[in-house]
Amino acid sequence: MSSADSVKVAVRVRAFNQTEKDAGSSCIISVALNDITIYDPRNRNNTKTFTFDLSYWSHSGFIKNEEGILIPDGPTSRYADQRRVFGDLGQGVLNNAWKGYNATLLAYGQTSSGKSYSMIGYGPNRGIIPLTCDELFKAIKQNQEHDKQYQIYFSMLEIYNEKVIDLLSKNKQPGGLKVRESPQRGFYVEHLKSVPCESYEQIEQLMKEGNKKRSTASTNINTSSSRSHMIITIRFKQVFLKEHLTKQSDINLVDLAGSERQKSSGAEGDRLREGTAINLSLTTLGNVISALAEIAMGKKVMHVPYRNSTLTKLLQSALGGNSKTMMIATVSPADICYEETLSTLRYAERTKNIQNKAVINEDPTERLIRELKAENAKLRSKITKIRNSGQRVEEETQELRRLLAENELQMQEIQTSWEQRLEIARKEWEQQYLAITQERHMIELFPYLSNVNVDPQLSAFVKLFIKDGESVVGQSASFPQAIVIKGLGIIDKHATITYRDNKVILEPHGQAKVTLNGVLVLTKVQLRHLDRIILGSNSTYLYVGNPCERNSEDLSRYDYDFFQSELAAVEGFDRDALGPACRNNRKVDPSVLAVFHDYIRVKPMVAEANQISEELNKDLKFELEVKNLALTDSRGQDLAKEVLVKVTNKVSQKVWLWSRAKFVNRKFIMEDMYQHFVDGENISVDRESDPFWDPVEAVHLGTAYIWLQSLNYCIVLEEHVEFHNSQGKEEAILQMKLVPCTPTGQPLREDEILIDPTELVGQRLDFQVQITQCLGIKWLKQNSKRGIQIRYHVLNHPHPFHTKPVWNAVNARIDQVTQFTVTSVSQELLNYLQNHALVLDLWGLQVQYGQHFDRLQMSVNNVMLICTLRFFFSCYKEGCAEMGSSSGDVEVTDEGSIIIDYLRPRLPSSGSVEMGDDQLSGLYIKLSKLEQEIELLRDVNRTLRKDNVTLKGILRKTMSDASRPDEKSSHQTNIQDFGCRGTPKASYEVEFAKALKTFYQRMNRVQSQLLGLRRHRPPDDDDVEVLRIYLGKQTQVIKDFGDSLESCINSLKNDVSLIVKKKKEHTLWDSETK
């Protein structure tokens, strides 16, 4: 009898983790009964509400009792603890299993959303899986009858990169286990170990063994559990002896891989994004759920892609098949996880529409055996016919024989009594019990190394005991007292640990890499309790000292992130290196925190990639960098930071910059290749499929800034500015000019300099960007067979402009002039020019190794001649990447000048803006005061202009009334006093314009000094003398900046005072003349 019902979906909202607390995150989720509402942190009025079968608020309202169990903090608390979640979901699974239905529970959510905590638990807070197993055995004990027999089998597997790994088998499984299909069983895993159990303690031990195997495997190549699926299957049989009837239920408890989304700028742009199967199962699961949801809504679906992945094959009965299925979706309520949480809720909403048709699995044992015998007879008949026909169909014959052997094996299993299987299992239990007892005894006697995994659930499962005398740590087990550790970068004899007189001494062997508390160890060192040890690339262990040294410390604080943060801090990288972590309200900037955590998570992967490259002779070096670490936008505000991986070919010196997502994607393919190498398989692949190869590309070297405010006054600006890379180090020096000009390209005269920029409103503005040369290019110093190209945006024009490429020159002569036109100046444009800079990016060009350069240069020149103004990135198959802009994308004047009419830009998101350093706050106050003083000077200028108009009127009247010779003489005298052009001292405006020109030229240098101050970082060295010298230099730089700023202001004040004084004298003279 079948029972049609929908998948039951529950959503659990967890508490903030430490990262979210440090970030000062706000909660964006509310729960009311079974409705969950999520708020967009960028617009709280933008909400979405979802309704599920069950919802759990586990975010707040809890305390920890004496046993360490989290419980509600009072009778009115909404907190849902582990026991309550089990009561709804775990107990529901058990109820269905007792009735004879197959039952499945899926846990879905992003990494660190609480999936594993809900399913397995942590410490005394047991999750659904252990509670379900425990309650099952309790129920069996209460329902014992003489004519009933209860049989429980336990299996545990992991799916990683589409490979099935048996976590209970001690045998090596190269390539993983095979997934087969049969008419009776559907999809199943061939040779998967299924262990009979008669107590919860046995299942608990099996889970520990399985997690230990996961932990050991992940140590080898950091195969993070967040990227793998774990399936625990409990086969529960109720045998009715009198009726010769068996009621069977398969309970599948599934902890799915993390569901976080890739950034669009990351792996999606990688040509090898489909080269890894790491996300195939989760993607296919989503497609299956979507297809089944559409079927449930009455839509016609041609195909449900169960067969497209290993996971969906094994879950076919759970989704749309013979199973009572539930899903628990776990989410973070933090604002920094908004996108992932919303994606999870949408996924869960689709899942609840799936319809299953569960059937009570109540089949007579004898009938099942008869069916298998009948099928075997048919298979034998087919084999006989093939033989008699004389056909040689080897593959078909082998497949028939395999099916025949499987059926016979299945009959043998059915006929084997429960007692016989239990007897075999008991012998294994005895051996395991001895090992457990021995381990507990050794913990009380010896110091040991405890593994630390990126997944806290897999930490502390491996304990390497340090016995008296000398022990050799490494890959080899051939030494008399060996501590065997498998992992990247670990050699046969990696280090020696000596334990004598209650002292433990660690000594690296040769050039073996050993890191202690973040510091590389080169000689003997004594270990202290809770020391952190990293062996090779990334095998991390916590040293637990002698029993006499131990206290009741919380070892969980020494997690994987603690190791990596310590390592990064020793190398001079911490949160402060990313800029100010706190805003004015003392709230930690989430963007800074996110980049820091990305850095420490990717750092060990970079170390492993370097080791894999070395062992596979790929000649690549990987280095971790932070994009925009010391760079700003056109307003001088910090740019959003991002973790990048710099890749360098040590032979050809080619360089690539990979995004974090692209590197992680490539890293998984590298791991797969390395595993084939370790297994002795051929790893030769074509170049397009090689994760270590990429076509050459242009590399961003640095950025320079030219402030645009001089254009407001039509002043020529000539600059020597530095290109600085993301880390703030100088890459080259640029010589260029910003020249206001006439429509025909002639520079404006000095008497055309403006005092009041508002005179430009409604007028046409022409100017030229003249880039002369680029000096001292480090990119060329490192390798002369390279080139450079400069790219820049003008105002907010959507397309960038580029210089011609220059090759083989450390001091590159460019000599490029580009003229731009604003057809009508607006007040918004004047404001933009006053506060923004022209941002110029220096790009490094490189040729494919072995190509003839002259031939390449010819093709480059032809391309640049044809596409002078075309914006593209052209990557030649055997060439280089260059940049240009398209004439089809820009509008030009009759004179050939490029029109760049200013458009109002969209406001930047607040998350991309970061405040300056606290130590420079006083300098910003000075700049603010300077703006106020400039406004006062403009008021003075307006007054002077009014006086000029009055004087001009008087002069015209005087000239028109002059009729006598003495009057003519007086008129000529006035002309000499007021100016050679016959205007009443119009030269005062010219003098004021010259003063402004000098002022803005000086201010550009002051602004450059300010940017230099913001880029300046303290040295990594802890030497007090080095820090003292740095402090002295920094103090002098700040003093010089203050002096320069004050000198600029005073100089302008003096010039204006002199002009005003002269003006007053002539006004007095004019009144006396009247």
Query: When comparing pLDDT for 267 and 933, which is higher?
Result: 933
Alpha-carbon distance 506 to 523, whole Å? 8
Query: When comparing pLDDT for 873 and 94, which is higher?
Result: 94
Cα radius of gyration (the chain):
38
In SS3 terms, 93-117 reads as HHHHHHHCCCEEEEEECCCCCCHHH
pLDDT band with cut points at 50, 70 and 90 for residue 109: very high
Q: Angle, to 10 degrees, between the axis of helix 1024-1073 and the axis of helix 965-978? A: 170
Distances (CA, A) of 55 to 34, 37, 659: 5, 11, 37
Q: What is the three-class DSSP state of 81?
A: coil
Cα torsion for 887, 700, 591, 729, to the nearest 10°?
Answer: -130
pTM: 0.74
pLDDT at 233: 96
CB 120 within 8 A of CB 133: no
Is it the case that residue 164 has pLDDT exceeding 60? yes
Q: Is the dihedral of CA 79, 81, 83, 87 positive or negative?
A: positive
pLDDT at 51: 96
Q: Which amino acid is at 89?
A: L
Hey, what are 852's tokens? 């003839």
Alpha-carbon distance 30 to 21, whole Å? 18
CB 422 within 8 A of CB 237: no
pLDDT at 917: 42
Alpha-carbon distance 1007 to 918, whole Å? 17
Average pLDDT over residues 640-668: 91
pLDDT at 818: 94
Distances (CA, A) of 757 to 162, 310, 709, 993: 66, 69, 10, 11
Alpha-carbon distance 888 to 877, whole Å? 26
Alpha-carbon distance 618 to 612, whole Å? 8
pLDDT at 853: 37
Alpha-carbon distance 928 to 1000, whole Å? 16
pLDDT > 90 fraction of the chain, expressed in percent and rounded: 41
Average pLDDT over residues 258-267: 55
**Cα–Cα nearest to 841, from 639, 640, 704:** 704
- Tokens 């709230």 correspond to 587
- Mean pLDDT check: name the lowest of 25-29, 270-274, 571-575, 604-608: 270-274
Alpha-carbon distance 469 to 488, whole Å? 27
Which burial class, exposed, middle or buried, applies to 413 when counting CB atoms under 10 A from its CB (0-12, 13-18, 19+)? Answer: exposed
The residues, ordered by sequence, that sit 6+ positions from 199 with a Cβ below 8 Å of its Cβ are 137
Is it the case that residue 701 has pLDDT exceeding 50? yes
- Mean pLDDT check: name the lowest of 128-142, 573-587, 903-917: 903-917
Q: ∠506-511-512 over CA atoms, to 5°?
A: 55
Which burial class, exposed, middle or buried, applies to 361 when counting CB atoms under 10 A from its CB (0-12, 13-18, 19+)? Answer: middle
Strand 519-520 with 525-526, pairing: unpaired
The residues, ordered by sequence, that sit 6+ positions from 903 with a Cβ below 8 Å of its Cβ are 796
Is it the case that residue 202 has pLDDT exceeding 70? yes
pLDDT band with cut points at 50, 70 and 90 for residue 100: very high
- Tokens 């170049």 correspond to 687
pLDDT band with cut points at 50, 70 and 90 for residue 633: confident
pLDDT band with cut points at 50, 70 and 90 for residue 215: confident
**Cα–Cα nearest to 1038, from 1065, 1064, 1012:** 1012
Average pLDDT, the chain: 80
Alpha-carbon distance 763 to 641, whole Å? 39
Hey, what are 828's tokens? 């918004």
Strand 891-892 with 898-899, pairing: antiparallel
User: For 92, how many CA atoms within 13 A lie in the half-sphere containing its CB?
Assistant: 21
CB 848 within 8 A of CB 928: no
Q: What is the three-class DSSP state of 304?
A: coil
pLDDT band with cut points at 50, 70 and 90 for residue 376: low
CB 627 within 8 A of CB 649: no
Alpha-carbon distance 363 to 381, whole Å? 27
pLDDT at 933: 61
Average pLDDT over residues 185-200: 90
Count of beta carbons in the 10 Å neighbourhood of residue 235: 18
Hey, what are 363's tokens? 């089949």
CB 155 within 8 A of CB 193: yes
Hey, what are 336's tokens? 């920094």
**Cα–Cα nearest to 620, from 542, 693, 723:** 693
pLDDT at 873: 36
pLDDT band with cut points at 50, 70 and 90 for residue 266: very low
Is it the case that residue 747 has pLDDT exceeding 50? yes
pLDDT > 70 fraction of the chain, expressed in percent and rounded: 73
The residues, ordered by sequence, that sit 6+ positions from 674 with a Cβ below 8 Å of its Cβ are 221, 612, 615, 616
**How big is the chain, counted in residues?**
1074
Q: What is the three-class DSSP state of 225?
A: helix
Distances (CA, A) of 183 to 180, 188, 358, 378, 717: 11, 11, 17, 14, 82
Which burial class, exposed, middle or buried, applies to 415 when counting CB atoms under 10 A from its CB (0-12, 13-18, 19+)? Answer: exposed
Please write the tens of the pLDDT for every residue from 23-69: 778 899 999 999 999 999 888 889 999 999 999 999 999 999 989 89
Query: When comparing pLDDT for 832 and 871, which is higher?
Result: 832
Alpha-carbon distance 523 to 512, whole Å? 11
**Cα–Cα nearest to 845, from 911, 929, 769, 787:** 787
- Buried b or exposed e, range 767-777, using 16+ CB within 10 angstroms: bbbbbbbbeeb
Hey, what are 632's tokens? 């700003």
Is it the case that residue 973 has pLDDT exceeding 50? no
